[in-house]
Structure formats: C-alpha cells, structure tokens
Amino acid sequence: MSRYPRYDILFEPVKIGPKTARNRFYQVPHCNGMGHRYPSSLAAMRGVKAEGGWAVVSTEEVEIHPSTDVTPYNEGRLWDDRDMPYHKHVVDAIHAHNSLAAIELTHSGHHAYNGYSREPALGVVDEPIVDPLPVYARAMDRSDIKAFRKWHRDAALRARDCGYDLIYIYCGHGLDVRQQFLSRRFNTRSDEYGGSLENRVRLLRETMEDTLEAVGHDCAVPIRFAVDEMMGEDGLTCENEGRDVVEMLAEMPDLWDVNVSDWDNDSLTSRFGDSGFQDAFTGFVKQVTSKPVVGVGRYTSPDAMVSLIKRGALDMIGAARPSIADPFLPKKIEEGRIEDIRECIGCNICVTGDMTAVPIRCTQNPTMGEEWRRDWHPERIAAKGSDANVLVIGGGPAGLEAARALGQRGYETVLAEAGASLGGRVNRESGLPGLTQWGRVRDYREYQIQQMGAVETYLESRLSVDDVLGFGARHIAVATGASWRRDTIGRTHKYSLPGLNEARVFCPDDIMDGVQLEGTALVYDDEHFYMGGLVAEALVKQGVAVTLVTTASEVSSFTHNTLEQHRIQKTLLEMGVEIVTTHSLSSLSAGHVRIACGYTGREKEIAAENVVLVTAMTPSATLYKELQARQEDWGDAGIQSVTAIGDCLAPGTIAAAVWSGHRYARTLDAPEQEGVWFKREIVGV
C-alpha cells in the first residue's frame, strides 16, 4: 500500500483472466525504435519499467509473419521459433520484478511495406498501401484469411512458450488488419467479411476465439481497441459502431485496453490536447463489460488516477509516454514521493525514435534507451569519483540536468545563471502557444536541486573568464546555450543574403522575448521543426498579418515525426496565415523580400514590413572559447577540465541538451575510454 492512504486503491491487485496484476499500473504497448534489432536494449528498458512498479509491461507491436514486415521501423518479430530467444530475454527482465509481460501480436495489413521480406502486401481490398510508396496490397481471399488465423494462433502459442502472461488481440490505431476489416473506410468487401458490422467484426471475433482456445487457459487475452476513429460519420465512433463492437464482444476478452485512432490522435501532443482528453470517448466501456478496463490519457497526477478508478471509468491506469518520462512513477506514488515524479511534457520526442528507426529518447528522462548500452538507470547513479567541486555555468536544460545529476552523485556544485530565473530556453519556449507543459523540464530539476545540500544556485550571475579562473572550481561545465541566427544562414544559404541590413529583421529569440511587431511579417522557416509554425502562430495572436515561407514542401515538416504536422498546418491555415512552400529567400529590402522557387529558381516579390528568420541556432560559446584560450592559466586556478555541454556544444533539441548535461555528470571523473564507449549489439556472422 501507499505511504498516503488515499492512493491505496492504486495498489490493489487486479485479476486479468488467469493472471493477477499486483497493482493498477499498466504500461500499454508502445514503440521504441529498438524492437528485434536491439533486443538487449529492449529487455533492459522493459525491465526497468517493471522495477519501477508497472504491474503489466507490454511490448511494442510484434509482427507475426513476413507478410507484415514494417522495415525500416524497428518493431518486434515473432515470425518463427528463431525469434523466441530474444522474447524470452524480455520476459525474464519483466518477470524479475514480479510484473506481468504482455505481447501485442500484429499484422499491419495495408501498413506493411514488406521491404525486407518482399512478400506481397495483404489487405482488406485491392488498393495501394497507406504509405506513399509504389506498393499495392491485394485483397485477402478465404485462403489468406485462414492462413492469417493460423499465423496468429502459432504466434500466440510461441508467445505463451516464451513466458508472456498476456497475449493481445490488436485492433487499434488503424495499424492492424483486423481494424482495417472493421473500418468502413477500408472495408468495401461484399462477402461474409464485409458489409454489415457483424461481418466486418468477424475476423476480429475469429482470432479472439482462436487465441482463447489456444492459450486462454495459461494466458490472459486482452483486446486493444480504438473505440473512435476520430473521423465522425466516416468512421467508427464511440456513439455508434465503436460502442456496438464493445457491446458485441463485451465478455470475450480478459481485459479491454481502449483508446482512439489513429496513432496521432491517441498520442496527441500537449500542444494540441490536455491530459485525459480520451476520457470522453472511452468512458462508456466500463458500463458495458464486467471485464477490467485500462485506458490512457498522459496521466501523471495520482489524484486524477484515483478519481478515474473511484468513479468507475477505469480499472487500471494505462501509460506509454508517462512510463517513458518516469519508469518509477508507480513506485514514487507508493513511497509518497509525488514531488519526485518526472512528468511527461507531451512533446513526442519519444515517437521520433520510432519514426526515424533509432532507439527511443525522452526530453524528461535522459536515461531512456540507455539502460543497457550505457548502463544508465533512471534513479541510480554512481557516487562521486573524487572530492572535486564543479562550477556549472548556465541554468538552461543542460546546466540544470548537469547540476541535478552532479548533486545526486554528491559533488559540491555551484550553478551560476546569468538571468533572473532558471530554465534558459525552456522558459522561453514554454511561453509559446501550447507549450506550457514544457516548463515541467525546468520545474522538476529546479525542485530536485532545491532539496540538495550539495548544489548552490546563484541567479543574475554573469561570469567573465577572470571570474571563472578565480572561482576555485576544479571542473567547469559551460552550458551557456545558443541563440538564433539573424543572417539568413541555415540549411539552404551558407552566406548572408543581399539587403539584410535594409530590412527589419528579427529571429525567434526576439519573439520569445516579447518583441511586438506591427503590420505584416514574413516568417522564413529553413529549420523545419516546431519553431517556424509557433512563431507564425504567436505573431498572428499579436495581430500581425503573417506569410510563412518554407524551403520544405510543408510547414514544420519534421513534426511528422512527432505526429502533429497536419495539426500545425491546419491551425495556421485556419488562423489566416498565407503559406508558401518550396521557396527560399533570395534577397531582402525595406518593406519587401524576394523569394525563389526551389525547383525553377523563378523569383517573386512579397511585401513584408518585418522578416523573422527561423534558420539555425549558433552556440553561445564565447566564454568557453575564452577559457580554452587561457589554458595556460588553468593550473594556477586549480582547473582540471573545462567542458561545453548542451546547446553551447552543439545546438539541438531540448532532449539533446538534457542528455548532454546528464552524460557530463555521469562521466565526470570516470576513466577515459578509447574507441566506442557504449555497448553495441553485434550479431555474429
């Protein structure tokens, strides 16, 4: 039970078919960019979740056959017996901490490119696959459906033999062929698997019956089901067919894991949705089934969790992103350490790992994805390696995390910040439209530092090179951040454009500093992440008429990887922003700019009283360079090392800055290593 009795309900056991979960915390399936290619990393990551108190720990989607090969994405595989050893490794890591292991068996149907297996794609009907590739799915006939049922049954048996406790029936996010059969937007068949809802649900029912018959005595069989496709009358909704499916199958599965589809709706960023927004869609499920129900909503507040259980909305608290930001969230609630929870900020940096086929990362949790290859644990860190003291210069995300982790190790640390508050770019960016929750990056670290006797913080303390040399610190970490360029140099232009001095030119730093523009503005986005769209949105809210010009083919193109590009572009269009794609700046002048088509080079002129350049950041590394130039003075000053970290070293995401600060703290006083300094998963030939 919890240290605080009001949370005891969260630690009650829950019966799930033949299995019992030790509490109500349930890590639902989530992708991670590791999958079958990085099994040791995967097992360690899932094991840490179990150690942190999640009673059920699930895999990512696991392919059941070569005809559902989603290469290049790093998902799970259980094609045949040869895949079983790594799954046993994952299961053992979860079971080591008395948690249940769940596997999400998947056939992606229209979403499977089969680029590695080169098998023909299978689908509900004859049509192109969902991804914009020259690949067509062929309609599954009766023999294909029979084969699919066998593949799924065989995979369920293998999963049981690997030791999994829960074996999923997947019908969510539009990513499984069973949901594609169920959905009217995919299924236009006229046989017994098409037409009426009863026919469209047939394959889902049949695979559930097959799985229950094959493994139901040994394993729980949950269903992961999207009750609403968020398409109105064009798809399933929680008010009509989505609810009807739940009522039809209400008592069949051992647990209902409910959400909305597609993935971009289920994993809505905090910029576009609040915690718990899915409650309005999934709340009915408990009314029509006696089986336990788990749902998600980016829940981080234990009081909100208790409310969900007590009012009968859910039986278990599901989480993907909050379990990534803090794998020990359940244990911290149990131990009464609520203030120590690293709350998810809903930025979806975690999703970018899967989308770019690299191991997962997290803005709040720099150890995510590093549990095995660097032996980083989210809660434990080695004690200090010496009695050296450390000066961290700069209180942005890198400096805050470095000071926090150094304090955790026991180093006497001083954090000097030039400004009046801690946070650096986090303070500035969290003031942009929709990014309020990003402030949690600052809040968590500032609170932790306040509890540490080893860390002293000084605000409004801008240091010169002589100040640093006279400070008496043995190690210096320079975390002075970066600033946005004002010279048009970025991805497209490697030089300043003509007329730069004639125009009224601004950068994102000015907008975040509260500079008020009047009249018209051209926002030039050559960076392609979130900043260009946010600057445009902020200016419209100031009353400025905005034209956004981007060298990409769409606004904020990298945000496809955070599942929000379409929402960003829709928001700007609805706000009246004029969008010009695939064009670059060619010259500037007072009141006008010229832009050039990226394909033809043809130029045209746009009137703009102000120009905001979103091109690139440059390190604010003057102090670091001055210290490097004074190395001959280090000995007299007692300095052993001066290290640039975060954006001062190389500008990037906030997640990268936090990771950089954490790595500095982890490796301080560690023996120097040559070659590759982290473990790699290399398969012998």
Q: SS3 for 389?
A: coil
- Bridge partners for 77 per DSSP: 63
- Bridge partners for 606 per DSSP: 593
The catalytic residue among 97, 111, 173, 475 is 173
- Bridge partners for 649 per DSSP: none
Among 47, 9, 611, 665, residue whose Cα is nearest residue 310: 9
Contact assessment for residue 306 and residue 316, using Cβ atoms and an 8 Å cutoff: no
Dig out the tokens for 620 from the structure: 């604010």
The catalytic residue among 26, 30, 31, 113 is 31
Task: Give buried/exposed letters for 428-462 (b at 16+ CB in 10 A, else e).
Answer: bbbbbebbebbbbbbbbbbebbeebebbebeeeee
The catalytic residue among 86, 113, 164, 170 is 170
- What's phi and psi for 291, nearest 5 deg? -80, 155
Contact assessment for residue 633 and residue 608, using Cβ atoms and an 8 Å cutoff: no
Q: Is 411 a catalytic residue?
A: no
Q: CA–CA separation, 337 vs 327, rounded Å?
A: 14
Dig out the tokens for 662 from the structure: 């954490």
The catalytic residue among 254, 266, 340, 647 is 266
CA 272 distance to own-chain centroid: 15
Q: Is 170 a catalytic residue?
A: yes
Task: Give buried/exposed letters for 196-206 (b at 16+ CB in 10 A, else e).
Answer: eeebbbbbbbb
Ramachandran quadrant class, 232 (left: phi over 0; alpha: psi -120 to 50; beta: rest): left
Q: CA–CA separation, 181 vs 241, rounded Å?
A: 13
DSSP per position, 326-374: -TTHHHHHHTT-GGG--------HHHHHHHTTS----SS-TTTT-TTTS
- Using alpha carbons, list the distances in angstroms from residue 672 to 292, 375, 387, 676: 52, 16, 18, 11
How many residues make up the chain in this entry?
685
Percent helix / strand / coil, the chain, rounded to 5: 35, 20, 45
Q: Is 524 a catalytic residue?
A: no
Strands across the sheet containing 505-506 = 505-506, 610-614, 520-525, 545-550, 578-580
Contact assessment for residue 377 and residue 624, using Cβ atoms and an 8 Å cutoff: no
Dig out the tokens for 41 from the structure: 């990393």
Beta strand 293-295 pairing with 19-21: unpaired
Q: Is 83 a catalytic residue?
A: no
Contact assessment for residue 133 and residue 90, using Cβ atoms and an 8 Å cutoff: no
Q: Which residues are catalytic?
A: 31, 170, 173, 266
